[in-house]
Amino acid sequence: MKCPYCGEEMEQGVIQSQHELSWMAKRHFMGGADFHEGSVLLSALSIFKGSAVVSHLCRKCKKVIIDYENGKCDCNHSK
């Protein structure tokens, strides 16, 4: 993936957690994406594997991009 800021090739890697990974409009201390309207689930939690999303890094621009179309960023998503 090319960085949309500088156009250079980005490094692919993962962001992982022992909790569900989701985008929410604001910080919540209780409940996952299912409980907060407008949230986007990035990686469902697996009790055995945790959660992880494929992401792309640009060290020059200091940006990380997660493409969550059709759940394809979710390492726990069955493809």
For Zn ion, the binding residues (CB under 5 A) are 3, 5-6, 58, 60-61
Residue with Cβ nearer Zn ion (25 or 61): 61
Calculated CA dihedral for residues 53, 31, 35, 69, nearest 10 degrees: 0
Residue with Cβ nearer Zn ion (3 or 54): 3
CB of 64 to Zn ion, least distance (A): 11
CB of 17 to Zn ion, least distance (A): 25
Q: Which of 74, 73, 13, 24 is nearest to 46 (CA)?
A: 74
CB of 58 to Zn ion, least distance (A): 3
Q: Which of 19, 42, 43 is nearest to 31 (CA)?
A: 19
